[in-house]
């Protein structure tokens, strides 16, 4: 047997072993999701029999219907669907506005530099490392002054303010690698601040826009601390409603309903990552981690 064939077989064995190990870890990682999904389609009686990994013997959509219409906050029960749409009303403007402001900040900090721009960027970057708990009381005070406390509008403002640091970091690092010659040529042709931004930089920013949208969408949709601190009742996001649904159960726990509600809350982020996950990695590699 030649040395080349021995090396080829060794490489094949190593690759197969690596794939086997990765498959085992993937199965372990996806096991909770599998258990949640199959449990959400089981009757409660079947769940009490044990064997969480078994497929339902009697498939039912009743837990999903109940979860969609039976989330309780305090003494009021109106359904998860209302809080699901609350989260949509929060996440869409928060992602769009914080992303646009971050793009403007990154544009100014790289292509329209001013004295002290590094200090400004450093302060913005510092905001990314401020723990959530530190801003709870000051933010509650600000929301009270603006008369938008306990509302989805107030929660939108909270996520915009807290997200600007990250979006600025993404766009600043991306625009740092953008050719300055194009911007100078546009200035010589008479293009102004907004023309250069909307006609030149923004169309070339699709990769980092995808990164920003996925990052912000995930953070805002999955947020619980700000939601439970600044909203209540009918203005709460779905994460708060999910928590109250689980904790409001009395007597026998309705695990199938709880799992179905958790799946409803997880579906949007799953869809975003399935549809745009590869663009997220491509955007990071195209410049968002440079500089």
Query: What is the rounded distance in angstroms from the CA atom of residue 171 to the CA atom of residue 174?
Result: 5
Structure confidence at residue 75 (pLDDT)? 41
Q: Quick one: pLDDT at residue 291?
A: 41
Q: Where are the domains of the chain?
A: 3-60, 68-288
Q: For residue 279, what pLDDT is reported?
A: 72
| The predicted structure's pLDDT at residue 290 | 44
As a whole number of Å, the CA-based R_g of the chain is 24
Give which of 225, 105, 109 is closest to 166, Cα–Cα: 105
Sequence-distant (6+) residues with CB within 8 A of 234 are 73, 76, 78, 82, 86
- β-pair type (72-73, 76-77): antiparallel
At 2 the pLDDT is 64
Q: Which architecture does CATH list for 68-288?
A: Orthogonal Bundle (1.10)
The CA distance from 265 to 129, in Å, is: 27
The kind and range of the H/E element at 72 are: strand 72-73
> pLDDT 10s digit of each residue in the chain, 291 long?
566 676 677 788 888 899 999 999 999 999 999 999 999 999 988 888 878 888 888 898 988 988 888 544 444 455 688 899 999 999 999 999 999 999 999 999 998 888 888 899 898 888 888 888 888 999 999 999 999 999 999 999 999 999 999 999 999 989 988 888 888 888 888 888 899 999 889 888 888 998 899 999 999 999 999 999 999 888 899 999 888 887 776 666 788 888 999 999 999 988 888 887 777 766 666 654 444
Number of Cβ within a 10 Å radius of residue 262:
19
């Amino acid at each position: 047997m030649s040395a080349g064939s021995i090396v080829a077989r060794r490489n094949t064995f190593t690759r197969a072993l690596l794939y086997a190990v990765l498959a085992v870890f993937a199965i372990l990682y996806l096991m909770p999701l599998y258990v949640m999904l199959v449990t959400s389609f089981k009757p409660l009686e079947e769940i009490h029999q044990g064997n969480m990994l078994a497929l339902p013997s009697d498939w039912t959509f009743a837990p999903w219907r109940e979860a969609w219409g039976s989330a309780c906050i305090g003494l009021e029960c109106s359904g998860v669907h209302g809080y699901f749409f609350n989260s949509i009303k929060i996440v869409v403007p928060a992602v769009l506005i914080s992303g646009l402001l971050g793009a403007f900040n990154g544009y100014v900090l790289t292509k329209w530099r001013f004295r002290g721009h590094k200090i400004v960027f450093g302060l913005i970057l510092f905001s990314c490392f401020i723990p959530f708990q530190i801003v709870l009381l000051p933010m509650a005070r600000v929301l009270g002054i603006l008369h938008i406390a306990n509302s989805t509008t107030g929660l939108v403002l909270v996520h915009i303010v807290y997200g600007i640091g990250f979006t600025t970091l993404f766009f600043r690092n991306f625009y740092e690698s953008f050719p300055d010659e194009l911007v100078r040529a546009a200035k010589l042709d008479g293009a102004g601040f907004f023309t250069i931004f909307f006609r030149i930089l923004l169309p070339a920013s699709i990769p980092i826009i995808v990164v920003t949208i996925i990052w912000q969408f995930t953070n805002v949709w999955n947020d619980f601390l700000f939601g439970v601190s600044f909203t209540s009742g009918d203005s709460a996001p779905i994460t708060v409603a999910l928590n109250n649904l689980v904790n409001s159960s009395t007597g026998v726990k309705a695990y199938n309903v709880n799992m179905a509600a958790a799946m409803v809350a997880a579906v949007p982020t799953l869809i975003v990552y399935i549809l745009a996950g590869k663009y997220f990695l491509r955007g990071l590699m195209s410049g968002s981690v440079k500089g």
